[in-house]
């Protein structure tokens, strides 16, 4: 059967076991919404599932992993690998790996430790092409087509929209596209899930790999979350990857000459071990010795971080800065609420992998509560399922609203 270009196959999408003949419907053309959250450490995607009427995470990684690591590999012959494939190269050719691209994306040329130079825009183009192609194949309601609407997340601190749009142009993406600030997107996902009352306010604190970001939303009379102009999103350039760098620096001061050379030759691979070790502090991964001392293995032996050193680095690199920055913002929020004579409570949502770091949540919550109490505002902490994917699901909701499938 010949399929009109803008029609979408929904048979397989409805149920994998369904045997009814394929049905094509022009309405579904509109439902092809894809969100991409390009994080400093992890890339996430989600799409609009019209049957469920919700934004659903699209698993991108190998195995059970919902995300892919934000890694690229540039080989000596110029071949570029991305995500899981680049991660595998950490063990074979660590000096060809580019990590934390998002942190200096504004630089048009990226230096690869193996001596190669690569255009940042080329890496972004590869990332978008791979994810869009993957979504067109994997999301059954896309029926092999690219999304009609692509929504990209932006950190609070930087505006990369020109870079993102150029990358999309270079891959000849023809659909509609828009951007949304990351904490705002997370807020949309929470409001959609929990349906707070009109006038309610939500503060989002996102502890990522590259930045800790914040934003405030208010539910309007039509139950739509809107940004509050006086409380613009903000953030600090200090998060999970800065802890990894800080731990690496700390380790270097303790190594002998031979080990330093080993680390310098395999920096990306060692950083990856440090990152895993850091995450294992919360009981998630493996690089911890039986007595609980975190350890990084080098070719020339291994290095164990004393707990005290680890905690000092975490405090110095991110916790103190986050508590300080968030404190300033929360004071502003409380002043705004008093001036507007708005409700005396505000919801507060914590997202992002770095919130799990030792001491982070406890200290942030304590400081936020203290400021709220002093200003007569009750700050109520809330949760959301798949909190680290709230950004990308919220991005999809923004796209859905923009093309009028449903209003948010
Ligand atoms: N259990 C854990 N304990 C401590 N840190 C963790 C844990 N799990 C993940 N992280 C850290 O969280 C960071 C990744 O979080 P997330 O995916 O929210 O960031 P991102 O979206 O990639 O970055 P950004 O939003 O800042 O660009 C990494 O630094 C990672 O090491
Ligand atoms: Mg993020």
Q: pLDDT tens for residues 40-50? A: 999 999 999 98
Question: For 292-309, what is each residue's pLDDT tens digit?
Answer: 556 888 888 888 888 889
* Residue 183 CB–ligand 1 contact under 6 Å: no
Which SS3 state, helix, strand or coil, does residue 62 take? Answer: coil
Is 189 a member of any domain? Answer: no
User: Can you give the pLDDT at residue 295?
Assistant: 81
* Residue 240 CB–ligand 1 contact under 6 Å: yes
Is 190 a member of any domain? Answer: no
Same domain? For 334 and 282 the reply is: no
Taking the model in full, what pTM does it have?
0.91
Q: Cα(41) to centroid of ligand 1, in Å? A: 6
**DSSP assignment letter at 47:** E
* Residue 241 CB–ligand 1 contact under 6 Å: yes
Same domain? For 207 and 156 the reply is: no
Beta strands in 129-232 (DSSP E): 149-154, 176-181, 201-207, 212-219, 225-227
Residue 181 tokens, joined: 């600030």
Which residues have CB under 8 Å from 153's CB, separation 6+? 35, 36, 37, 38, 179, 180, 181, 182, 185, 391, 392, 395
Nearest atom in ligand 1 to the alpha carbon of residue 284 is 1
User: Can you give the pLDDT at residue 188?
Assistant: 95
Taking the C-alpha atoms of residue 152 and residue 227, their distance in angstroms, rounded to an integer, is 17
The ligand with the least distance to the CA atom of 212 is: 1
User: Can you give the pLDDT at residue 404?
Assistant: 76
User: Can you give the pLDDT at residue 27?
Assistant: 61
Q: Provide the domain count of the chain.
A: 4
Nearest atom in ligand 1 to the alpha carbon of residue 37 is 21
Same domain? For 145 and 259 the reply is: no
Q: Cα(39) to centroid of ligand 2, in Å? A: 5
> Which contacts of 224-231 are long-range, i.e. CB under 8 A and separated by 24 or more positions?
224/407, 224/408, 225/187, 225/188, 225/191, 225/408, 227/184, 228/201, 228/336, 230/336, 231/329, 231/332, 231/333, 231/336
Residue 388 tokens, joined: 């680290």
135 in Cβ contact with 34 (< 8 Å): yes
Q: Cα(15) to centroid of ligand 1, in Å? A: 34
- Is 314 a residue whose pLDDT tops 50? yes
- Is 286 a residue whose pLDDT tops 50? no
Same domain? For 219 and 366 the reply is: yes
User: Can you give the pLDDT at residue 293?
Assistant: 54
Mean pLDDT of 110-136: 96
pLDDT bucket at 341, cuts 50 / 70 / 90: confident
Nearest atom in ligand 1 to the alpha carbon of residue 70 is 22
User: Can you give the pLDDT at residue 301?
Assistant: 85
Q: Which of 7-16, 25-34, 242-251, 294-303 has the lowest mean pLDDT?
A: 7-16
As a whole-number percent, the residues of the chain with pLDDT over 90 amount to: 78
The ligand with the least distance to the CA atom of 158 is: 1
- Torsion-angle region of residue 57: left (phi > 0), alpha (psi -120 to 50) or beta? beta
Higher pLDDT, 143 or 13: 143
Same domain? For 50 and 159 the reply is: yes
Is 215 a member of any domain? Answer: yes
Residue nearest to atom 9 of ligand 1 (CA): 353
Residue nearest to atom 21 of ligand 1 (CA): 39
- Is 252 a residue whose pLDDT tops 50? yes
- Residue 209's domain comprises 196-238+314-384
User: Can you give the pLDDT at residue 284?
Assistant: 41
Higher pLDDT, 33 or 28: 33
- Torsion-angle region of residue 223: left (phi > 0), alpha (psi -120 to 50) or beta? left
Mean pLDDT of 5-19: 33
Phi and psi at 340, nearest 5°, equal -85, -5
Is 188 a member of any domain? Answer: no
Residue nearest to atom 17 of ligand 1 (CA): 42
Nearest atom in ligand 1 to the alpha carbon of residue 182 is 25
Same domain? For 158 and 20 the reply is: no
Is 126 a member of any domain? Answer: yes
User: Can you give the pLDDT at residue 407?
Assistant: 59
Is 125 a member of any domain? Answer: yes
Is 358 a member of any domain? Answer: yes
Q: Cα(39) to centroid of ligand 1, in Å? A: 9
Mean pLDDT of 379-397: 96
- Is 6 a residue whose pLDDT tops 80? no
Q: Cα(240) to centroid of ligand 1, in Å? A: 6
User: Can you give the pLDDT at residue 32?
Assistant: 95
Taking the C-alpha atoms of residue 128 and residue 115, their distance in angstroms, rounded to an integer, is 25
Taking the C-alpha atoms of residue 403 and residue 408, their distance in angstroms, rounded to an integer, is 11
DSSP string, 287-329: -B-TTS-BEEEETTEEEE--HHHHHHHHIIIIIHHHHHHHHHH
Taking the C-alpha atoms of residue 378 and residue 384, their distance in angstroms, rounded to an integer, is 19
Same domain? For 126 and 244 the reply is: no
User: Can you give the pLDDT at residue 408?
Assistant: 58
335 in Cβ contact with 182 (< 8 Å): no
Nearest atom in ligand 1 to the alpha carbon of residue 241 is 29
Q: Which helix (H) or strand (E) holds 402?
A: helix 390-402
Name the average pLDDT for the chain: 89
pLDDT bucket at 39, cuts 50 / 70 / 90: very high
Residue 386 tokens, joined: 């798949």
Mean pLDDT of 172-189: 96
State the helix-helix crossing angle for 257-265 and 267-280, rounded to 10 degrees: 90
* Residue 44 CB–ligand 1 contact under 6 Å: no
Give the Cβ contact number of residue 290 at 10 Å: 5
**DSSP assignment letter at 336:** H
The ligand with the least distance to the CA atom of 280 is: 1
Same domain? For 345 and 227 the reply is: yes
Which residues have CB under 8 Å from 76's CB, separation 6+? 96, 114, 116
Q: Which helix (H) or strand (E) holds 97?
A: strand 97-99
């Amino acid at each position: 059967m010949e399929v009109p270009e803008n029609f979408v196959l929904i048979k397989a999408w409805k149920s994998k076991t369904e045997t009814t003949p394929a049905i094509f419907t022009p309405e579904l053309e509109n439902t092809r919404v894809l969100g991409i959250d390009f994080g400093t450490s992890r890339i996430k995607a989600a799409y609009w599932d019209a049957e469920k009427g919700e934004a659903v995470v699209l698993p991108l990684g190998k195995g059970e992993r919902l995300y892919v690591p934000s890694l690229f590999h540039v080989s000596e012959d110029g071949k570029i690998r991305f995500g899981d494939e680049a991660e595998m190269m950490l063990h074979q050719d660590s000096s060809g790996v580019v990590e934390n691209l998002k942190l200096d994306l504004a630089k048009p040329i990226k230096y690869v430790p193996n001596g190669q130079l690569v255009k940042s825009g080329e890496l972004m183009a590869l990332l978008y092409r791979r994810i869009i192609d993957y979504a067109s194949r994997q999301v059954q309601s896309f029926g092999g087509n690219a999304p009609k609407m692509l929504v990209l997340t932006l950190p609070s601190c930087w505006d990369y929209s020109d870079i993102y749009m150029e990358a999309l142009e270079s891959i000849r993406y023809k659909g509609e596209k828009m951007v949304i600030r990351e904490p705002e997107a997370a807020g949309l996902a929470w409001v959609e899930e929990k349906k707070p009352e009109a006038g309610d306010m939500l503060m989002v604190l996102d502890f990522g790999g590259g930045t800790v970001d914040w934003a405030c939303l208010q539910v309007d009379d039509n139950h739509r979350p809107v940004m509050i102009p006086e409380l613009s999103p903000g953030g600090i350039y200090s998060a999970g990857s800065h802890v990894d760098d800080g731990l690496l620096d700390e380790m270097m001061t303790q190594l002998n000459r031979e080990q330093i050379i080993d680390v310098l030759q395999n920096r990306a691979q060692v950083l990856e071990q440090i990152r895993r070790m850091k995450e294992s502090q919360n009981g998630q991964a493996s690089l911890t010795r039986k007595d609980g001392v975190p350890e990084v293995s080098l070719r020339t032996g291994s290095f164990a971080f004393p707990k005290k050193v680890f905690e000092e680095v975490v405090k110095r690199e991110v916790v103190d800065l986050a508590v300080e920055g968030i404190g300033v913002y929360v004071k502003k929020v409380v002043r705004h609420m008093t001036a507007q004579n708005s409700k005396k409570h505000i919801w507060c949502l914590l997202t992002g992998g770095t919130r799990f770091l030792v001491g982070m949540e406890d200290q942030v919550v304590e400081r936020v509560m203290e400021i709220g109490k002093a200003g007569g505002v009750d700050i109520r902490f809330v949760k959301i399922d798949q909190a680290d994917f709230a950004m990308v699901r919220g991005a999809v909701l923004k796209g859905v609203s923009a093309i009028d499938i449903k209003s948010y």
